[in-house]
Amino acid sequence: MIALIQRVTQGRVTVDGATVGAIGPGLLALICAERNDAEPQADALLDKLLLYRVFADDEGRMNRSLRDVAGELLLVPQFTLAAETSSGTRPSFTPAAAADVGRHLFEHFVAQARERYPRVEAGRFGAHMQVELINDGPVTFWLQVRPRLEAAA
């Protein structure tokens, strides 16, 4: 699973002109499921995201997490994060999870986030969305959790 997280002062997602999610200061996270991902990867990525220290402490160091600052969280599905771009001039999306798996894992991610954190908004899987944000810093990080390979017998 992949999350591209951005520290924001505000963020908003609209679909067909209607706002489906909006936050104030916090994190906007673009979320992508890759082939072979399952709920354990989604859960591990959420753990990391909620505890990742990207907010400044009193000395200006990035030592505070979303939880520490009581920020808001906006989750946006974005399968294009899994694009293979190493050759040619057109991306390949074969590394991305199939749409039904991607939808399930995104919905699982959102549900788990809402159980574990009080301020969660989300975009809509499969919809054409407009995403607005004001990146604070700018601060942007790529987080990735991959399935563990089973040891050979």
What size, in residues, is the chain?
153
Pairing of strands 72-77, 120-122: parallel
Residue 65 buriedness (CB in 10 A; 0-12 / 13-18 / 19+): middle
Query: What is the three-state SS of 11-48?
Result: EEEEECCEEEEEECCEEEEEEECECCCCHHHHHHHHHH
Q: Any catalytic annotation for residue 80?
A: yes
Active-site choice (6, 14, 41, 78): 78
Active-site choice (6, 55, 79, 112): 79
Helix or strand holding residue 112 (H, E): helix 99-116
List the structure tokens of 76: 């946006």
Task: Identify which of 145, 137, 146 has the alpha carbon closest to the alpha carbon of residue 47.
Answer: 145
Q: Any catalytic annotation for residue 6?
A: no
Active-site choice (9, 80, 85, 130): 80
Q: Any catalytic annotation for residue 144?
A: no
The residues annotated as belonging to the active site are 78-80
